[in-house]
Amino acid sequence: MVTGGEALFGEGRIAARFAALKAQKRSGLITFLTAGDPNLETSLEVLKALPAAGADLIEVGMPFTDPMADGPAIQRANLRALKSGAKVRKTLELVKAFRARDQATPIVLMGYYNPIHRYGVPAFLRDAKAAGADGLIAVDVPPEEDEELALPTRGMGLSFIRLATPTTDEKRLPKVLQNTSGFLYYISLAGITGVGTYNPSAVAAAVKRLRANTTLPIAVGFGIRTAAQAQVIAGIADAAVVGSALVDCIGEAAAGAKKPAEIVASATALVRELAGGVRRASQPGA
Protein backbone atom coordinates (compact mmCIF):
# COMPACT_ATOMS: atom_id res chain seq x y z
CA MET A 1 0.00 0.00 0.00
CA VAL A 2 1.13 3.45 -0.81
CA THR A 3 0.81 6.00 1.95
CA GLY A 4 1.20 9.73 1.71
CA GLY A 5 4.67 11.18 1.91
CA GLU A 6 6.49 7.92 1.16
CA ALA A 7 8.44 7.61 -2.02
CA LEU A 8 6.56 5.58 -4.57
CA PHE A 9 8.10 2.58 -6.22
CA GLY A 10 7.16 -0.51 -8.18
CA GLU A 11 3.49 -1.38 -8.17
CA GLY A 12 2.79 1.84 -6.26
CA ARG A 13 4.26 4.12 -8.90
CA ILE A 14 2.41 2.40 -11.74
CA ALA A 15 -0.89 2.44 -9.81
CA ALA A 16 -0.39 6.11 -8.94
CA ARG A 17 0.18 6.99 -12.58
CA PHE A 18 -2.95 5.19 -13.79
CA ALA A 19 -4.93 6.78 -10.94
CA ALA A 20 -3.64 10.20 -12.01
CA LEU A 21 -4.64 9.50 -15.62
CA LYS A 22 -8.10 8.51 -14.45
CA ALA A 23 -8.37 11.76 -12.48
CA GLN A 24 -7.42 13.64 -15.65
CA LYS A 25 -10.09 11.65 -17.48
CA ARG A 26 -7.74 10.49 -20.20
CA SER A 27 -5.77 7.51 -21.42
CA GLY A 28 -2.02 7.29 -21.23
CA LEU A 29 0.80 7.05 -23.74
CA ILE A 30 3.41 4.37 -23.16
CA THR A 31 6.57 4.69 -25.21
CA PHE A 32 9.18 2.01 -25.80
CA LEU A 33 12.84 2.49 -26.51
CA THR A 34 15.78 0.10 -26.50
CA ALA A 35 18.40 0.87 -23.87
CA GLY A 36 21.69 1.84 -25.47
CA ASP A 37 20.19 2.57 -28.90
CA PRO A 38 22.07 3.98 -30.74
CA ASN A 39 24.40 4.39 -27.74
CA LEU A 40 24.03 4.78 -24.00
CA GLU A 41 24.53 8.55 -23.81
CA THR A 42 21.96 9.29 -26.49
CA SER A 43 19.39 6.84 -25.17
CA LEU A 44 19.66 8.43 -21.72
CA GLU A 45 19.03 11.87 -23.25
CA VAL A 46 15.99 10.53 -25.16
CA LEU A 47 14.72 8.79 -22.04
CA LYS A 48 15.00 11.95 -19.95
CA ALA A 49 13.11 13.97 -22.57
CA LEU A 50 10.19 11.54 -22.99
CA PRO A 51 7.99 12.56 -20.01
CA ALA A 52 7.98 16.24 -20.97
CA ALA A 53 7.10 15.25 -24.54
CA GLY A 54 4.04 13.39 -23.26
CA ALA A 55 5.04 9.84 -22.34
CA ASP A 56 3.08 8.74 -19.27
CA LEU A 57 4.88 5.43 -18.78
CA ILE A 58 8.10 4.22 -20.36
CA GLU A 59 9.13 0.75 -21.41
CA VAL A 60 12.88 0.28 -21.56
CA GLY A 61 13.92 -2.61 -23.80
CA MET A 62 16.82 -4.72 -22.60
CA PRO A 63 18.90 -5.67 -25.65
CA PHE A 64 19.19 -9.33 -26.67
CA THR A 65 20.91 -11.01 -29.60
CA ASP A 66 17.86 -13.14 -30.42
CA PRO A 67 14.68 -11.09 -30.05
CA MET A 68 12.36 -13.67 -31.59
CA ALA A 69 9.10 -11.86 -30.82
CA ASP A 70 10.26 -8.65 -32.45
CA GLY A 71 10.02 -7.37 -36.00
CA PRO A 72 12.83 -5.83 -38.05
CA ALA A 73 12.71 -2.36 -36.39
CA ILE A 74 13.35 -3.59 -32.85
CA GLN A 75 15.73 -6.30 -34.08
CA ARG A 76 17.86 -3.54 -35.62
CA ALA A 77 17.62 -1.47 -32.43
CA ASN A 78 18.87 -4.46 -30.41
CA LEU A 79 21.82 -4.87 -32.73
CA ARG A 80 22.66 -1.14 -32.63
CA ALA A 81 22.56 -1.22 -28.84
CA LEU A 82 24.66 -4.36 -28.49
CA LYS A 83 27.18 -2.98 -30.94
CA SER A 84 27.51 0.13 -28.81
CA GLY A 85 28.24 -2.00 -25.74
CA ALA A 86 24.84 -2.33 -24.10
CA LYS A 87 24.63 -4.71 -21.15
CA VAL A 88 22.02 -5.50 -18.51
CA ARG A 89 24.08 -3.63 -15.92
CA LYS A 90 24.26 -0.55 -18.15
CA THR A 91 20.51 -0.67 -18.77
CA LEU A 92 19.97 -0.56 -15.01
CA GLU A 93 22.41 2.37 -14.73
CA LEU A 94 20.35 4.15 -17.39
CA VAL A 95 17.19 3.66 -15.33
CA LYS A 96 19.00 4.89 -12.23
CA ALA A 97 20.18 8.05 -13.98
CA PHE A 98 16.63 8.71 -15.19
CA ARG A 99 15.13 8.04 -11.77
CA ALA A 100 17.46 10.52 -10.09
CA ARG A 101 15.58 13.32 -11.90
CA ASP A 102 12.10 11.86 -12.28
CA GLN A 103 10.38 10.07 -9.40
CA ALA A 104 6.92 9.96 -10.95
CA THR A 105 7.15 8.33 -14.38
CA PRO A 106 6.93 4.54 -14.13
CA ILE A 107 9.64 2.55 -15.87
CA VAL A 108 8.92 -0.96 -17.08
CA LEU A 109 11.85 -3.11 -18.19
CA MET A 110 11.03 -5.27 -21.20
CA GLY A 111 13.12 -8.07 -22.57
CA TYR A 112 13.89 -11.73 -22.98
CA TYR A 113 14.68 -14.13 -20.20
CA ASN A 114 18.23 -15.24 -20.97
CA PRO A 115 20.11 -12.04 -20.03
CA ILE A 116 18.11 -11.92 -16.76
CA HIS A 117 18.79 -15.63 -16.17
CA ARG A 118 22.50 -15.07 -16.71
CA TYR A 119 22.58 -12.05 -14.40
CA GLY A 120 20.76 -14.18 -11.81
CA VAL A 121 17.08 -13.59 -11.05
CA PRO A 122 17.41 -12.45 -7.39
CA ALA A 123 20.35 -10.15 -8.18
CA PHE A 124 18.59 -8.73 -11.22
CA LEU A 125 15.38 -7.97 -9.31
CA ARG A 126 17.32 -6.43 -6.41
CA ASP A 127 19.36 -4.22 -8.74
CA ALA A 128 16.37 -3.32 -10.94
CA LYS A 129 14.42 -2.21 -7.90
CA ALA A 130 17.36 -0.27 -6.51
CA ALA A 131 17.75 1.46 -9.88
CA GLY A 132 14.14 2.59 -9.73
CA ALA A 133 12.42 0.27 -12.18
CA ASP A 134 8.78 -0.44 -11.41
CA GLY A 135 7.85 -3.45 -13.47
CA LEU A 136 9.02 -6.16 -15.79
CA ILE A 137 7.79 -7.65 -19.04
CA ALA A 138 9.56 -10.88 -19.97
CA VAL A 139 8.41 -11.83 -23.44
CA ASP A 140 9.33 -15.52 -23.27
CA VAL A 141 8.24 -16.44 -19.74
CA PRO A 142 4.57 -17.55 -19.89
CA PRO A 143 2.38 -18.35 -16.84
CA GLU A 144 3.44 -22.01 -17.14
CA GLU A 145 6.87 -20.91 -15.87
CA ASP A 146 5.63 -18.47 -13.19
CA GLU A 147 7.91 -19.61 -10.39
CA GLU A 148 10.91 -18.72 -12.57
CA LEU A 149 10.36 -14.99 -12.67
CA ALA A 150 6.79 -13.74 -12.14
CA LEU A 151 6.54 -14.79 -8.49
CA PRO A 152 10.03 -13.56 -7.50
CA THR A 153 9.32 -10.25 -9.29
CA ARG A 154 6.12 -9.71 -7.36
CA GLY A 155 7.81 -10.83 -4.17
CA MET A 156 10.22 -7.93 -4.69
CA GLY A 157 7.32 -5.48 -4.94
CA LEU A 158 7.75 -4.95 -8.68
CA SER A 159 4.96 -5.44 -11.18
CA PHE A 160 5.04 -8.40 -13.51
CA ILE A 161 3.18 -7.27 -16.59
CA ARG A 162 1.83 -9.99 -18.81
CA LEU A 163 0.80 -9.88 -22.43
CA ALA A 164 -2.66 -11.03 -23.47
CA THR A 165 -3.04 -11.77 -27.18
CA PRO A 166 -5.71 -12.56 -29.76
CA THR A 167 -4.97 -16.24 -29.04
CA THR A 168 -5.72 -15.85 -25.32
CA ASP A 169 -9.21 -17.35 -25.15
CA GLU A 170 -11.71 -17.38 -22.26
CA LYS A 171 -10.28 -20.60 -20.95
CA ARG A 172 -6.72 -19.32 -20.84
CA LEU A 173 -7.36 -15.76 -19.68
CA PRO A 174 -7.58 -16.54 -15.92
CA LYS A 175 -4.17 -18.16 -16.13
CA VAL A 176 -2.70 -15.08 -17.84
CA LEU A 177 -4.28 -12.78 -15.26
CA GLN A 178 -3.37 -14.81 -12.20
CA ASN A 179 0.05 -13.33 -11.44
CA THR A 180 -0.19 -10.20 -13.57
CA SER A 181 0.12 -6.87 -11.82
CA GLY A 182 0.49 -3.19 -12.65
CA PHE A 183 -1.42 -3.36 -15.91
CA LEU A 184 -2.33 -5.85 -18.59
CA TYR A 185 -0.73 -5.40 -22.00
CA TYR A 186 -3.01 -6.48 -24.82
CA ILE A 187 -1.30 -7.21 -28.13
CA SER A 188 -3.53 -5.98 -30.95
CA LEU A 189 -2.52 -8.71 -33.37
CA ALA A 190 -0.97 -12.17 -33.45
CA GLY A 191 2.50 -11.45 -34.72
CA ILE A 192 5.73 -9.65 -34.08
CA THR A 193 6.32 -6.02 -33.16
CA GLY A 194 6.06 -3.32 -35.78
CA VAL A 195 4.58 -5.46 -38.54
CA GLY A 196 0.97 -5.74 -39.66
CA THR A 197 -2.23 -3.87 -38.98
CA TYR A 198 -4.94 -4.54 -36.43
CA ASN A 199 -8.69 -4.15 -36.67
CA PRO A 200 -9.81 -1.46 -34.16
CA SER A 201 -13.26 -2.98 -33.65
CA ALA A 202 -11.71 -6.37 -32.89
CA VAL A 203 -9.39 -4.65 -30.40
CA ALA A 204 -12.37 -2.89 -28.79
CA ALA A 205 -14.20 -6.21 -28.44
CA ALA A 206 -11.12 -7.86 -26.96
CA VAL A 207 -10.59 -5.03 -24.45
CA LYS A 208 -14.23 -5.29 -23.43
CA ARG A 209 -13.77 -9.00 -22.82
CA LEU A 210 -10.63 -8.36 -20.77
CA ARG A 211 -12.37 -5.70 -18.66
CA ALA A 212 -15.04 -8.22 -17.70
CA ASN A 213 -12.27 -10.32 -16.17
CA THR A 214 -9.89 -7.84 -14.55
CA THR A 215 -9.81 -4.49 -12.81
CA LEU A 216 -6.20 -3.90 -13.92
CA PRO A 217 -5.61 -1.02 -16.35
CA ILE A 218 -5.34 -2.26 -19.93
CA ALA A 219 -2.71 -1.02 -22.36
CA VAL A 220 -2.84 -1.89 -26.06
CA GLY A 221 0.15 -2.09 -28.35
CA PHE A 222 1.60 -3.54 -31.60
CA GLY A 223 1.07 -1.68 -34.86
CA ILE A 224 0.36 1.82 -33.47
CA ARG A 225 2.48 4.28 -35.44
CA THR A 226 0.54 7.52 -35.88
CA ALA A 227 -1.25 10.08 -33.70
CA ALA A 228 -4.55 9.14 -35.34
CA GLN A 229 -4.04 5.46 -34.51
CA ALA A 230 -2.98 6.34 -30.96
CA GLN A 231 -6.16 8.43 -30.61
CA VAL A 232 -8.39 5.51 -31.64
CA ILE A 233 -6.65 3.08 -29.27
CA ALA A 234 -6.68 5.63 -26.44
CA GLY A 235 -10.46 5.74 -26.86
CA ILE A 236 -10.58 2.01 -26.26
CA ALA A 237 -7.88 1.25 -23.70
CA ASP A 238 -6.30 2.88 -20.64
CA ALA A 239 -3.05 3.38 -22.52
CA ALA A 240 -1.65 3.09 -26.03
CA VAL A 241 1.85 1.63 -26.47
CA VAL A 242 4.13 2.85 -29.24
CA GLY A 243 7.37 0.98 -29.83
CA SER A 244 8.62 0.34 -33.35
CA ALA A 245 7.63 3.80 -34.68
CA LEU A 246 9.77 5.52 -32.04
CA VAL A 247 12.57 3.00 -32.44
CA ASP A 248 12.52 3.58 -36.21
CA CYS A 249 12.62 7.32 -35.64
CA ILE A 250 15.67 6.98 -33.39
CA GLY A 251 17.28 4.57 -35.85
CA GLU A 252 16.77 6.86 -38.83
CA ALA A 253 18.08 9.89 -36.98
CA ALA A 254 21.11 7.90 -35.83
CA ALA A 255 21.75 6.62 -39.36
CA GLY A 256 21.83 10.24 -40.52
CA ALA A 257 24.80 10.64 -38.16
CA LYS A 258 22.91 13.30 -36.28
CA LYS A 259 24.14 14.71 -32.98
CA PRO A 260 22.48 13.36 -29.81
CA ALA A 261 20.49 16.59 -29.41
CA GLU A 262 19.07 16.18 -32.91
CA ILE A 263 18.12 12.55 -32.25
CA VAL A 264 16.39 13.67 -29.06
CA ALA A 265 14.57 16.39 -31.03
CA SER A 266 13.31 13.88 -33.63
CA ALA A 267 12.15 11.45 -30.95
CA THR A 268 10.40 14.05 -28.83
CA ALA A 269 8.68 15.57 -31.86
CA LEU A 270 7.15 12.17 -32.64
CA VAL A 271 6.17 11.57 -29.01
CA ARG A 272 4.54 15.02 -28.75
CA GLU A 273 2.49 14.21 -31.84
CA LEU A 274 1.45 10.81 -30.46
CA ALA A 275 0.63 12.32 -27.06
CA GLY A 276 -1.55 14.86 -28.85
CA GLY A 277 -3.49 12.00 -30.41
CA VAL A 278 -3.89 10.25 -27.08
CA ARG A 279 -5.08 13.45 -25.41
CA ARG A 280 -7.67 14.12 -28.11
CA ALA A 281 -9.33 10.75 -27.43
CA SER A 282 -12.45 10.55 -25.35
CA GLN A 283 -11.91 8.65 -22.13
CA PRO A 284 -12.32 4.90 -22.63
CA GLY A 285 -15.77 3.70 -21.77
CA ALA A 286 -17.11 7.27 -21.75
Applying CB under 8 A, the residues found at the interface with another protein are: 63-69, 71-72, 75, 82, 87-89, 112-119, 139-145, 162-169, 172, 176, 187, 190-192, 195-196
The least CB distance from residue 260 to another protein, in Å, is 24
The least CB distance from residue 86 to another protein, in Å, is 8
**Catalytic residue (choose from 11, 37, 56, 70):** 70
The least CB distance from residue 189 to another protein, in Å, is 8
**Catalytic residue (choose from 11, 56, 59, 134):** 59
Q: Where are the beta strands (DSSP E) in the chain?
A: 28-34, 57-61, 107-111, 135-138, 159-160, 163-164, 184-187, 218-221, 239-242
Which lies closer to another protein via its Cβ, residue 206 or residue 270?
Answer: 206
Q: φ and ψ at 157, to 5 degrees?
A: 85, 15
Which lies closer to another protein via its Cβ, residue 176 or residue 242?
Answer: 176
The DSSP secondary-structure symbol of 164 reads E
CA–CA dist 33, 54 (Å, integer): 14
Known active-site residue 59: yes
Which lies closer to another protein via its Cβ, residue 101 or residue 118?
Answer: 118
Which lies closer to another protein via its Cβ, residue 103 or residue 178?
Answer: 178
The least CB distance from residue 72 to another protein, in Å, is 8
96, burial (CB in 10 Å: exposed 0-12, middle 13-18, buried 19+): middle
- Report the C-alpha dihedral over residues 264, 274, 140, 89, rounded to 10 degrees: 20
Residue 104: which H helix or E strand, with range? none
Catalytic residues: 59, 70
